[in-house]
Amino acid sequence: MKKSAPEKENQAKAQPADEKSTAPEESPNELRLPVWSVISFERREASGLTYTEAEQKLSELEAQKVSGLCIVTDEVAARISNV
């Protein structure tokens, strides 16, 4: 039995997504994991934080006039030689 074009389209949509793609519903879970670092021009200021904790730390450091602040994953922070 042949499938109509709409049936083929629906079947394609129902197939699992590629493993490398990140579904939007996965992102909030990642933000809750303690895998975030706050870095400055000088060093890694904090690591092992949830994203919310990293935002709070960034705000604290901004208030102290620390320059070059950024939130990155712990993995990325470990790759930066001068941090």
CA distance 54 to 56: 5
Contacts of 48 (CB under 8 A, 6+ apart): 34, 35, 36, 37, 74
The domain segmentation of the chain, as residue ranges, is 30-83
pLDDT digits (tens, 9 = 90+) for 7-49: 545 555 554 444 444 444 556 799 999 999 999 999 999 999 9
Give the confidence band of 80 by pLDDT, cuts at 50, 70, 90: confident
Side by side, the strands of the sheet bearing 70-73 are 44-49, 36-39, 70-73
